Structure 1
Amino acid sequence: MKTQKQREKDIYAMRKRRKRRRVLRQGIIFLLMAVAVLVLYQRRDSWIPTLETIGHRHQTYRSEEADAADGDLPIYLYSGSEPQLATISNRLLVLSDSYLQIYDTDGHLLTSRQHTYGSAVMRTAGEYALVYESGGMQFRVETAAKTRFEKLLSDPIVFGRISPGGLIALVTSSDTCACKLLVFNLKGQLIYERDCIEELTDLSFHSDESGCYASSIYTENGRLYSLVHSYSFTEYEDLWTSKPLDMMAISVYNTSGGDVFVLGDSQCCFLAAGGALKSTFVYPDTLRSGVFSGNTAALLLENTEKRTRTVVVINGNASTPVLRSYDKEIRSIGLVPEQNAVLIQFRNHFEAITSAGETMRSLSVADSYQGFLKIEDYLFLRSYDHIDRIDYQK
């Protein structure tokens, strides 16, 4: 028979075991809760918009007529980084650091697709979107309906472009040459590979997508120059190469007239289809941004000493550029090709001007936005935490 002292020891040991089990159980519960919170936080771009959609749907029952005009707008942004906006098939694409979300023009969330790219970049053309990891080795091709394919490369991606017909051109780094140019079709098959001795900075597809124009840079006697090359996806010799251009080429475009437009850091120019220089415009002030479509370029220049901004409109068919100066902040510029117009975003309003520099219209906005995207007759306005929509035609 156990003595009183032994019984006390047994009771003490049993209490210690119960306490250890209780502490262990509480620790496991806390760990599971922490994991659940972490998972919810990482996937916030997916489930928070769903909650917002539910809230908007609830409002629809209370005020159906009022909500019908604006749909599920504004669209709230929960990503830690600045999202990228683009459009395919008249859909709004929002790329965050974790998700690609696709909305219709009424702000209804159609689909949300997760990605794991560390520095995701999105490029669009026609009905296709290319999403790739800058400095990484993965890329994927998206449509509004589905992900077409995803691939893993053996070299880091420097930049990528996609054509309206769905060709994908990727420039990667290489240990054996300056860079590599890889071209894939819509099935994800590699159809062209080129070891480049030049460092490519940008490319655009030929209008028939049989090849591309590519810009490269080099230095000579301490100065930076650029070349434009025309490649065929069935040959390995250049179709043609331009003479050296006294600039650092930033972007290259094919024009609706069959020429090439080159946007540089200090000047821009038009090249003929064979690479001959047609016209040049040297910037009087510092370039802040530039856009191009069809045969028209719009540039935003800034003079920090005079505190002035200048919008330059250059048409490939016109003899001289059109310049309009402003003494107030300009947030962004864009082109409206169907109206041959340039859209200028100020702090609290938009101004549309013709390619001749004449004012077409002015649109007031109630908030301060950081950028915009035009889809059909709407302007989608991006703030730091949401996206609004206004009717461009009103």
Structure 2
Amino acid sequence: MRRKKRGSHFDLPEDEADIQVNPDQAGEAAGVSPPGNSRRKKKKRIPGWVYRVIVILAVAALGVVVWFNRDNLTLEKISLWIQEKVVGSGIGDGYPYAIDNGEIAVKNFGAWGQDSVFVSDSYLTVLNATAKEVVSRQHSFGSPVLKTAGDKALIYNLGGTGYQIEAYASTVRKESAEAKILAGALAANGSYALLTEGEGCYGQLMVYTAQNEEKFLYRFSKYYPTSVSLNAAATEALVTAVSAQDGGLVSVVYKLDLSQEGEAQPVAEYSENLLFDSFFYADGSGAAVGDAGAVLLDTAGKAEKFDYQGAELTSYTGKDGLTAFCLSPYENAASGELVILSGSGQKAFSVELQAVLKSVSIFGNTVAVLGGGEVRAYSIAEGTALSTAEAGSDSRAVALLDESNAYVLAMSEIRRLELAAAE
């Protein structure tokens, strides 16, 4: 059967009329490469060796990261990190948080990472950003003192023998010292130190590893030790100590190398000034705080004295190589001065305020001071006002959790403040 192709002057067989011609094939048959095929020929595959080089570089980079963080990649630390994330999750009722677990001393309140932490006369409590209790553990210390560093917290019984080390997930260690505890310190790597009374000496310093192994012992034969602090790696310690000489009071500062044995000599001495606290900073500098003045130590251990010039110390803190002092011209004066010094004793920032300065906190380049029922924040580097917030007339202490948010300890509650821009 035949059909006539429309528009054609000749007839084709039906099977030939239905043949579909591939343009590519037609072009190839004519000896011409079609455009599409030409593009396919030009496309090049990435050589396999490039992928191998990328894999090798990625593995090398991961190895470098692991090497520099090897101290933090122990099984214990990884386990604690996982437990912290699990325990720390959850939503609370929000701030303010009503305090119903007893009285809280100002020195036992602060920020622990992004959380608020405090120790009352009966409990250790940690609250997350929504005021959920992520930690609530009872203790039996009559005079508890709280120290935090890294992912651990140390609580010791001042004048007693009990102490315990806490993590988010559980109590890591609960022990009793052999003698009454005079002071304690915690390092970022989990090591800790205790100053205790000692038989046949004025006191002794014992430093332990994170695994609770004793690594250093020093017995003081000339001075009574009053405070201790450790650097982040627990390789050095600052100790303040006092003694009576020629009818007067003398305070000294020791900078102890924990790898060295034998008697050490003080690096600084201060007359008629009771040094009672100390800070050791990550850069190797440090500070010792007294009732009439302070001692600042640079990274080389050189000491500079800072005299309060008869002013009263109302609050102080230290962080990131800076030490802050709140000074009042006399007791209960309605004015005061905030001074921040570097480890070399240089003044980094100062401001006079018309308020009783109750508390001070440092985070990064920001310092926050509590006074007159307000929290005022300043840039340390620029010396300018950054922000302010109402804290309440019953507020007692402030703790920055970052450069724009703070926790406040009040008489009966914990508050969280967002620091608005200053006018």
- Please give the residue correspondences for 1:60-139 in structure 2 after superposition, counting only pairs within 5 Å: 71-82=93-104, 84-139=108-163
Larger Rg: 2
TM-superposed CA distance for 1:169, in Å, is 0.3
CA distance in 2, matches of 1:366, 1:301: 21
Mapped to 2, the partners of 1:176 and 1:390 lie a distance apart of 51
Residue correspondences, number:
324
Go from structure 1 to structure 2 and tell me whether the alpha carbon gap of 1:207 and 1:238 turns closer, same or farther (over 3 Å shift): farther
1:1-394 maps to which residues of 2 (within 5 A)? 71-82=93-104, 84-197=108-221, 198-238=223-263, 241-246=266-271, 247-273=273-299, 275-277=301-303, 279-284=304-309, 285-304=311-330, 307-316=334-343, 319-320=346-347, 322-336=349-363, 338=364, 340-355=365-380, 357-365=383-391, 368-376=394-402, 378-392=405-419
Change (3 A) 1:111 1:326: closer
State how far apart, in whole Å, the 2-side matches of 1:219 and 1:275 are: 25
CA distance in 2, matches of 1:240, 1:175: 21
Can you list the C-alpha shifts for 1:313-357, whole angstroms capped at 9, x where unaligned? Answer: 223467446442223222222112x2x222111233221123254
Shift of 1:202: 1.4
CA spacing shift, 1:190–1:393, aligned 2, 3 Å: farther
TM-score (norm 1): 0.74
Query: Measured at CA, do residues 365 and 102 of structure 1 come closer, stay the same or move farther in structure 2, by a change above 3 Å?
Result: closer
The change in CA–CA distance for 1:181 and 1:346 in structure 2 (over 3 A counts) is same
- CA shift, 1:369, in A, is 1.3
Question: Cα deviations across residues 39-64 of structure 1 (Å, max 9, x unaligned)?
Answer: xxxxxxxxxxxxxxxxxx9xxxxxxx
Inter-partner Cα distance in structure 1 for 2:113 and 2:341: 28
What are the Cα deviations for residues 71-103 of structure 1, in whole angstroms up to 9, with x where unaligned?
433211123422532343433223222222222
Gaps of 5+ in 2: 1-89
Answer yes or no: is the 8 Å Cα contact 1:149–1:187 preserved in 2.
no
Cα distance in 2 for residues equivalent to 1:111 and 1:255? 27
Taking the aligned partners of 2:110 and 2:354, their CA distance within structure 1 comes to: 30
Equivalent position SS for 1:95: strand
Q: Which moved more, 1:320-329 or 1:350-359?
A: 320-329
Taking structure 1 as reference, are residues 192 and 114 closer, same or farther at Cα in structure 2, changes over 3 Å only? same
Calculate the aligned-residue CA RMSD, in Å.
2.6
Residues 150-200 of structure 1 deviation map (CA, whole Å, 9 limit, x = unaligned): 112221111111111111100111232101212222232333222221211
Equivalent residue, structure 1, for 2:33:
none
Q: Is the 8 A contact 1:179 1:195 kept in 2?
A: yes
Judge conservation of contact 1:230–1:238 (CA < 8 Å) in 2.
no
Q: Partners of 1:249 and 1:366 in 2: how far apart?
A: 32
1:302 and 1:351 mapped to 2: Cα distance?
Answer: 17
| Structure 2 counterpart of 1:46 | none
Q: Which runs of 5+ in 1 are unaligned?
A: 1-56, 58-67
Closer/same/farther in 2, CA of residues 82 and 382 from structure 1, 3 Å limit: same
Equivalent residue letter for 2:249: L
Aligned-partner Cα distance in 2 for 1:274–1:321: 19
Quote the offset at 1:301 in angstroms.
0.8
State the Cα distance separating 1:107 from its structure 2 match: 0.6
In structure 1, C-alpha distance between the alignment counterparts of 2:335 and 2:419, rounded to whole Å:
27
Identical-pair percentage: 19
> In 2, are the aligned partners of 1:87 and 1:93 still within 8 Å (CA)?
yes
- The CA deviation at 1:380 is 1.6
Cα 1:168/1:320, change in 2 over 3 Å = closer
Give the Cα separation in 2 of the matches to 1:100 and 1:357.
36
Using the TM superposition, name which of 72-81 and 171-180 deviates more.
72-81
**CA–CA separation in structure 2 for the residues paired with 1:171 and 1:317:** 27
Find runs of 4+ consecutive structure 1 residues off by over 6 angstroms: none
One-letter amino acid matched to 1:155: A
Partner amino acid, structure 1, of 2:242: I
Number of the residue aligned with 2:8 = none
Residues 301 and 89 from structure 1, CA distance in 2 versus in 1: closer, same or farther, beyond 3 angstroms?
closer
